[in-house]
Amino acid sequence: MTATSATALPASDEVRPAPRRWGAPLWVGALLIVLAFLVLYPLLMLVFGALSDSNPVVDGFGAFRPSVKHFIDVLGNENVHLAFFNALAACGGGTILAVVIGLAFSWIVVRTDTPFKGFIAGASMIPLFVPPLVAGVAWGILGSPKTGLLNTVLKWVGIDFRFDFYSMSGLILVFGMYYAPYVYMFTASALRNMDPSLEEASEVSGASAFTTLFTVTFPLIAPAILAGSLLSFVVMLGIYGVPAALGAPANISVLTTYIFKLTAWSPPLYNTAAAVAILLMVVTAILVWAQQRVLSGKSFATVAGKAFRPRPLKLGRWRWFTFSLALIYIFVVVVLPTLALIIAAFRKFLFIKDFDALFDAKAYSWVHFNSVFDNPLTMLSIWNTMKVGVLTALVGGALAFAIGYTVNRTQVSGRRSIDLLATLPVAIPGLVVGVAYLWAWIGLPGGLYGTIWILALAFVARFMPDTVKALSTSFMQIHKELEEAAWICGRGMLGTIRTIVLPLARPGVVASMTLLFVLAIRELGSSLFLYTSDTTVMAVLLLDYYEGGNVGKTAAFSLVQTVLLAVLLGITTWLSRDAAQGSARVG
């Protein structure tokens, strides 16, 4: 890639018409080829897989018998229907719950005088960073019908009620609680941007605070509510970890877990998996498109005369009620699962006879951690995860910079296609990227399959839209004239990028690479289909432990992963903040 960019850009700093005329098309061509290789080729192979019945490993590509019938057969399959409707039910229910929680939170944080609002706002975002599988595992430990910790507590208190999180309602609850922040992000910013006099006018007109909320406030931010719920639905639809942990014990398959099941069969049903993956992708694409439509539509709440003077609603004694609501949420979503993981990881046996046995010190030990680290795969997976993370960050960051610059800063023809190709993965769930890459490389001998690179490239493709978007924002902040001034001073295109654009965009570049790194090390969905025993990563190994049935080891490794993630997140945040401060005056 570096080689292509070196030849594709005008090599000299002098502006001569001849090389420029060839430089731009060459550069655009190179970018298009790279993107086609990363995005289009795997997708084409996925379609190819869905339309054929040949096994790429056994048959090679010689015996390609394309037929739409094959794809239609899969769509007619009852198990596929079941997985499809299970997915709709789980994600639909989860979304409704997420809207209720997210909306309540944004109202509490933006519109009321609830104490410690900053803390509430920050803490309620934590669920976004919890890997789905870890959340699923923790809630399995808490809410399994027989040994669940919550049920032990209920039994001790004497309440005749038992939780069962290995169920559709368990799935919905966990989805709703953990993906509420997506709704919150949209609705909170909509509430913040709303002209407060719209609400004041209602109050002066004689409506009560409650009436105002439901006749003015919520209808006004309806587009944001819709956009947030569509996004959280799409994210839930693509999640593998939660349904794998909570749905599998109860035999509830959703699309993602069903796809993986197909490839884990012996012999693996790669063609069927490809067909179901396409179904998942189409549903996702439609929803993403709908969400973009909602977002680009005319936004209501932006008529503004003067700067807003936010007037938080004085709740009086009720503010302690809203405060405790927030605390309960944070307790249930962050504290409880963490406690569950800690207990399960340190107890020799998870079976807890009664509540008092919970505090029996003899029952606790490091035995699960020891056995996790005795396994050579553990260190290998951590090492691999770091390698994949760094590779993804570097390759993805560089590519996103090239794409972002070309799309936002130049007038070359073909930049629209580059933009389109780079944004396409937004509609492809991680798991589908995994299946597509599997199809793209498994049949090619001596290719990428089985190396760490296939994971990194899949991640680069999967997270390209997020990275390019983050970088584009920082390009927008650099005034075009800063660049033009350098050209006037006699700098060429490359020289200007090196001396002006790159230093000014540095905080954005560092931030995007950090984001890529974090996204890559916690990604499970696409890794599932691409790892081999040599290239296993943490997320996959955790799934292995879980499916092996040893709760203690699973919990111990979940904790290791969570602590590692938290530390890395801390370091990278600190790094990117440092970079941001270095050029705080830009823009």
Partner 1 sequence: MSSALLIEDLVKRFAAGKPAVDGVNFDVPAGEIVVLLGPSGCGKTTTLRCVAGLEHPTGGRISIGGRVVSEPERNLLVSPRERDIGMVFQSYAVWPHMTVKQNVAYPLKHRRSSNGSGNVDTKVRETLELVGLGDYAERPVTSLSGGQMQRVALARSLVYRPQLLLLDEPLSNLDAKLRIRLRDELRRILKQTGMTGLYVTHDQAEAVVLGDRIGVMREGKLLQMAPPGEIYNRPADSFVANFTGASNVLLGKVLERKGERATIDLGQVGRIEAWTPQPLAAGDRARVALRAENIRLGERGPANSFTGRVVERRYQGMQTVYDVEFGGQKLEVLELGTAARHQDGEVALTLPPDTCWAYRDEGQSAID
Binding region for partner 1 (CB under 8 A): 195, 197-198, 200-208, 211, 215-216, 219-220, 222, 298, 300-301, 303-306, 311
Task: Provide the minimum distance between the beta carbon of 184 and partner 1 in the complex, in angstroms, as a whole number.
Answer: 22
In contact, 229 and 187? CB cutoff 8 Å: no
DSSP 298: P
Task: Provide the minimum distance between the beta carbon of 219 and partner 1 in the complex, in angstroms, as a whole number.
Answer: 5
Compute the C-alpha angle 207/213/219, nearest 5°.
Answer: 115
Residue 477: what are its φ and ψ, rounded to 5°?
-75, -15
Task: Provide the minimum distance between the beta carbon of 212 and partner 1 in the complex, in angstroms, as a whole number.
Answer: 9
Task: Provide the minimum distance between the beta carbon of 195 and partner 1 in the complex, in angstroms, as a whole number.
Answer: 5
C-alpha–C-alpha distance, residues 413 and 433, integer Å: 29
C-alpha–C-alpha distance, residues 100 and 478, integer Å: 39
Distances (CA, A) of 44 to 38, 41, 47, 288: 11, 5, 5, 21
Which residue's CB is nearer to partner 1, number 156 or number 218?
Answer: 218
Task: Provide the minimum distance between the beta carbon of 298 and partner 1 in the complex, in angstroms, as a whole number.
Answer: 8
Task: Provide the minimum distance between the beta carbon of 309 and partner 1 in the complex, in angstroms, as a whole number.
Answer: 9
Burial (CB count within 10 angstroms: exposed 0-12, middle 13-18, buried 19+), residue 45: buried
Compute the C-alpha angle 148/154/155, nearest 5°.
Answer: 90
In contact, 549 and 464? CB cutoff 8 Å: no
* Other Cβ atoms closer than 10 A to 206: 7
Which residue's CB is nearer to partner 1, number 187 or number 561?
Answer: 187
Which residue's CB is nearer to partner 1, number 207 or number 494?
Answer: 207
In contact, 182 and 225? CB cutoff 8 Å: no
Task: Provide the minimum distance between the beta carbon of 387 and partner 1 in the complex, in angstroms, as a whole number.
Answer: 52
Compute the C-alpha angle 442/447/448, nearest 5°.
Answer: 80
Which residue's CB is nearer to partner 1, number 194 or number 244?
Answer: 194
C-alpha–C-alpha distance, residues 440 and 42, integer Å: 5
Which residue's CB is nearer to partner 1, number 221 or number 468?
Answer: 221
Which residue's CB is nearer to partner 1, number 300 or number 373?
Answer: 300
Looking at residue 447, its amino acid is G
Which residue's CB is nearer to partner 1, number 306 or number 416?
Answer: 306
Task: Provide the minimum distance between the beta carbon of 189 and partner 1 in the complex, in angstroms, as a whole number.
Answer: 18
C-alpha–C-alpha distance, residues 278 and 43, integer Å: 9
Residue 467: what are its φ and ψ, rounded to 5°?
-65, -45
Which residue's CB is nearer to partner 1, number 301 or number 395?
Answer: 301
DSSP 305: S
